[in-house]
């Protein structure tokens, strides 16, 4: 097999970039209605939206409950989201690998 470079540093830097964007940049994101919201307002069906069932959650609407400083609250919620997405994203594939190896054990490593 071809020699492959390690990916630890790449993943680390990538996560750092994601965390910085979520913490430092997201508080300055536009809070205007997004494309679909704008269309629903202009076309007159925005009133049909129902309140979110989990709108009282501790991180609802990208804010940490109890942190009143708005930008800090948004930024912190962003960090939580980045961590959760990394964990669940990687976790899904750990689970897929575990199920696969139980169904078909990989062949013994080639020793030559």
Partner 1 sequence: MHIPDGFIDARTSLAGAAVAAGLVGVSVKQAARTLDDRQIPLAGLTAAYIFALQMLNFPVVSGTSGHLLGGCMAAVLVGPWVGSLCMAVVFMIQALVFADGGLSALGLNIIVMGYVTCFVGYGIFLLLRSILPPSRRGVTVSAAVAAWCGVIGSALVFVLYYAIGGTGGASVRTVMSAMVGVHALVGIGEALLTGVTVGAVLTARPDLVYGARDLTPDLELRVPATVGSL
Q: Give contact residues for partner 1 (rule: CB under 8 A).
A: 2-5, 7-8, 10-11, 14-15, 17-19, 21-22, 25-26, 29-36, 38-40, 42-50, 52-55, 57, 59-62, 74, 77-78, 80-94, 96-97, 99-100
| Shortest separation between residue 68's beta carbon and partner 1, angstroms | 18
Nearest residue (CB) to partner 1, 18 versus 72: 18
Nearest residue (CB) to partner 1, 31 versus 111: 31
Q: Which two tokens stand for residue 46?
A: 């925005």
Nearest residue (CB) to partner 1, 25 versus 69: 25
CA distances from 58 to 81, 89, 112 (A): 12, 22, 56
Residues in the chain: 112
Instruction: Quote the CA–CA distance of 106 and 95 in Å, as a whole number.
Output: 16
| Shortest separation between residue 74's beta carbon and partner 1, angstroms | 8
Q: How far is C-alpha 44 from the chain's CA centre? A: 31
| Shortest separation between residue 112's beta carbon and partner 1, angstroms | 16
Instruction: Quote the CA–CA distance of 2 and 10 in Å, as a whole number.
Output: 19
């Amino acid at each position: 097999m071809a020699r492959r470079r390690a990916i630890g540093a790449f993943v680390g830097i990538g996560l750092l970039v994601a965390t910085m964007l979520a913490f430092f940049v997201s508080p300055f994101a536009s809070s205007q209605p997004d494309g679909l919201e704008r269309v629903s307002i202009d076309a007159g069906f925005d009133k049909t939206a129902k309140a979110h069932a989990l709108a009282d959650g501790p991180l609802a609407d990208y804010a940490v409950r109890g942190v009143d400083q708005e930008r800090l609250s948004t930024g912190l919620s962003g960090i939580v989201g980045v961590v959760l997405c990394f964990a669940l994203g990687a976790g899904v594939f750990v689970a897929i690998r575990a199920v696969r190896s139980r169904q078909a054990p990989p062949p013994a490593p080639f020793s030559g």
